[in-house]
Amino acid sequence: MDKKTERLTIWLPESLKIDLMHLAAGDDRRLSEYITHVLFAHAYGHRRLQEDGCEAAISGDALR
C-alpha cells in the first residue's frame, strides 16, 4: 500500500461512525485504517470486476 499523504474529511451520521468504530475494533484496526481498508476493497475490487467484464460490477450488484 502506498504511503498515506492525503487527508479526507467526511461528514457521517453519528450512528454510522459508531457502527464503523465497532467494525474496526472487531477487525483489530484503528478507525482510519479500517475505512482505508474498506475503500481499497471497494475501489480496487470494483475496478477488477469491471476489467474482468463482469456485468454485475457495472450495475453495482456484485457489491450488494
pLDDT in tens, 14-60: 999 999 999 999 999 999 999 999 999 988 887 665 666 655 544 55
End-to-end CA distance of the chain: 25
Burial class (CB in 10 A: 0-12, 13-18, 19+), 2: exposed
Question: pLDDT: is 55 or 6 the higher one?
Answer: 6
Going by C-alpha positions, the residue among 18, 45, 23 that lies closest to residue 34 is: 23
Q: Is pLDDT at 64 greater than 60 in this prediction?
A: no
Cell numbers placing 44: 480496487
pTM, to two decimals: 0.68
